[in-house]
Amino acid sequence: MPSRRLLPMLLGLALVAHAASAADLDDCNAEVPEPAAAARPAAEAYWLDGRHLQWPGLKLQPGERVRLHHAAAAGLRAVVGEVVTGSDGAVALRPSAAPLPEGFRFIGEGLRLAVAGGAPVAALLREQLLLVHETADGRVIASTGVQIAGALDDLYAAAERVDDLGARPGRGATRFAVWAPTARRVLLCRHAVPGAPAVAAEAMRLDAATGVWRAELEGDLSGQAYRFLVDVVAPAHGLVRNLVTDPYSVALTADSRLSIVADLASPALKPRGWDAAPRPRRMKAATDQVIYELHVRDFSINDASVRPAWRGKYLAFTEPASRGMQHLKALAEAGLTDVHLLPVFDLASVPERGCRTPAIPDAPADGEAQQAAVMAQAAGDCFNWGYDPWHFNAPEGSYATDPLRRVIEFRQMVMALHRAGLRVGMDMVYNHMAAAGQARKSVLDRLVPGYYHRLDARGEIERSTCCDNTATEHRMMAKLMIDSAALWVREYRVDSMRFDLMGHQPRAAMERLQARVDAEAGRPVQLLGEGWNFGEVAHGARFLQASQLSLNGSGIASFSDRARDAARGGSAGEGGDDSVRRQGWLNGLVYAPNALAAARPEELLEAADMIRVGLAGSLRSFELTTWRGERKRLDAIAYGDQPAGFASEPGEVVNYVENHDNQTLFDVNALKLPLDTSREDRARVQMLGAALVAFSQGVAYFHAGQDILRSKSMDRNSYDSGDWFNRLDWSYRTNHFGTGLPPRQDNYGRDGRDWALARERLADPSIAPGPAEIAWARDVFRDLLAIRAGTPLLRLSSAAEIRKRVSFPGSGASQNPVLVATRVDGRGLGGHRAVLAFINVAPTPQVLELPAEAKARWVLHPVQRRGADARVRDEARFRGGRFEVPARSAAVFVLD
């Protein structure tokens, strides 16, 4: 907003509740503008706490000094060789020998300074600040801005204990609270009716101890709308007036224009029966989880058995007779425990009213027209994965039949899934925001500029996650994350959580979050996430991360890429001929080479051992005899530059071969399997991937549609590829392979090579499965779930039990790498005395001779004796120490 109305404030800091004016009310009703282009000035120095600063790289020479200039009007100008202009004064600084705080060990060496005397740092932080290296007569040698998080975390530590941020309606009064310690003035813009102009601009008062601005108004204002009008200095734009929604919003108008006052305990926001609705049984162990990752819109947008108004919405889950819900119920009966929803908090990329669904032309299986039509409408269509958070504490409105009904309809969805016997998990994205700075959809950075986002050494916002990274190492960003997670558990009965790019968050913050959500739920809430180690925080550069290698012992689970990459082949970022050449254990490495393959036999042996690492739960302490004949702990086996074993307990590892990221397993196999592989064998290979997950110690994680051979027509990154490339068919007629080339932007490849490889396959009518193959895969997948559910030995709850009971017959130097066997001893536990699970990836039958088992009475698992896979049912045999496993089959034998 223009700063013309701020001129009366420039003579001093307005921190008390001055009466609002008519002009303030006009500003309350303004539209939030897109900001003018402005460069973010360098901020290379750091506040270490409320009294100390450090300027990395600076060395003073005799006769030089450093002063902190400040300006209420935000007009500071520092030109080398000249005197600073626009300054209201300069605070003297003196060299300091204070130790560098632990949280700042990542910054470069440099001059450490202390604020001299009793300078009011809190007041200074509400002005523009510039650290200036000067000559004795005040001429500029160099200057820089100062990163403020260290000062705010120190000065306002008490804010972490504030428990009433947001809007709190009550019978006699409604209270509003927002943390904005660097603001000059905050007004509450109040709308009596959400769609009407603001009726009042209420002055808020600052609590100097916490940095929280408060207002209390008479009566219960539930249903009214509000925003904050904040006068604050922003790094690139100077003194601004920002119209901002509440970061603690629990309800919003359409397209998140206004926050809404709402009491989530109100009967008006609860579906009938909500308070008494039963929840699924408490999970005995984290390893009992079997998870199905699902996007709300994907679930029903193409399901003709759902009433049209509910397709793509929360309410689709409340249609018990729909094909989609029948599918989920069948999975639950087989052994599925959790549905994990891709982001369902308020997101920035989908219009909540007026989104468009593009018309897709009828074009060839390898045509370009489909993707062109999708991408022409992508910015305004109804689809996005949703990894672009806008407000963490409110459900997304585009999934509601009306954005004003988002709360009650989300709860209806939860009730429906719970009735179906399924726990509800959420994808939590706290590592970045959809926007920052003065951008129209920026919230946090327009309230407290420069605080909530992680900055680099020049003060620019880090974007290693894809977007504007948040800084959960900062006190109030961690608080927002923890408060938000607690709200979803308390108010929406969320049972488990998956954290996007969790490795960008501190382990300490995640452990505090774990304790908080467990307390809110009165039971364990299972946490898992992407513990990838990369970006500016990699290798603990800024803090001990919540990453694979540093979470062990926490009980929080990380996805394992060990068996995933060995099974699929290659890696997530590959392209061109490598995407075909680099086969995996599942799709032909060495034993069924494709036209571009050039693998060495040793690569298959290494892959088979990495598969065993996954089957053993990627445990650090488990010992395996490798293909070289060496007995090693898994943390002594190399996985690139990391240890293969990274978890301390099986509940800390998530096993998977497919999720929403990258190509589906079917599409990866379309690239890597020999082109003449039959439809039947493609389905079998897909189910071998599912068997690998089902038989592995740890948490089992599957992608929605993996069980019905889901394809995205080769799209490697379908986050914005519309409904067309993200479809699910619960009628089991098609998997949507060959419905056009995937969107060019992420799939064209160097010189178009990726498109050329995709075109060759999409145009081949022999690759796409028919209804028979889809139905077979569906039924075999349910058998695998039933085996895992009914066989506790496949999901042991402790590393000690796994070390004691799990072994790999046939491993070692003389192994047959296409046939991997896992033996689990069940003596003393009740149930089966032992289990032997086999996966044969070869296109021919395989045999494992185990003379020590010759006198045992091994029989095929009861599920498979009556199961959907006739090949296993008829051909898998045990005879006098000899196990026979049919081609491309997974077979489980039990000893009773």
Active-site residue set: 500, 530
CB 241 within 8 A of CB 231: yes
DSSP 714: T
Nearest 5°: phi and psi at 892? -120, 125
Give the integer Cα–Cα distance in Å for 430 and 546: 13
CB 714 within 8 A of CB 762: yes
**In the structure encoding, which two tokens stand for residue 461, read together?**
């916002």
CA atoms within 13 A on the CB side of 446: 28
Interior angle at CA 772, CA 770 and CA 775, nearest 5? 110
CA atoms within 13 A on the CB side of 137: 2
CB 142 within 8 A of CB 444: no
**Residues whose CB falls within 8 Å of the CB of residue 441, separated by 6 or more in sequence, listed in order:** 256, 348, 390, 434, 435
CB 304 within 8 A of CB 316: no
Give the integer Cα–Cα distance in Å for 699 and 614: 11
Sign of the dihedral defined by the CA atoms of residues 651, 652, 655, 659, in that order:
positive
The widest CA-to-CA distance across the chain, in whole angstroms, is 96
Distances (CA, A) of 532 to 291, 463, 511, 548: 20, 15, 17, 7
**Residues whose CB falls within 8 Å of the CB of residue 518, separated by 6 or more in sequence, listed in order:** 524, 525
Give the integer Cα–Cα distance in Å for 120 and 91: 10
Please report where in the chains the tokens 């069948």 appear, as a residue.
330
**Share of the chain residues as helix, strand and coil, in percent rounded to the nearest 5:** 30, 25, 45
Residue 252's DSSP bridge partners are 259
Distances (CA, A) of 424 to 299, 341, 358, 606: 14, 8, 31, 37
Q: Which of 418, 425, 430 is nearest to 454 (CA)?
A: 430
- Could you tell me if residue 618 is left (phi over 0), alpha (psi between -120 and 50 degrees) or otherwise beta? left
Distances (CA, A) of 291 to 327, 419, 496, 718: 14, 17, 10, 21
Give the integer Cα–Cα distance in Å for 759 and 713: 10
Please report where in the chains the tokens 């075909």 appear, as a residue.
580
Q: Which of 519, 517, 550 is nearest to 533 (CA)?
A: 550
Give the integer Cα–Cα distance in Å for 663 and 575: 12
CA 656 remoteness from chain centre:
16
Q: Which of 810, 809, 792 is nearest to 801 (CA)?
A: 792
Q: Which of 696, 610, 688, 689 is nearest to 650 (CA)?
A: 696
DSSP 498: E
CA 148 remoteness from chain centre:
27
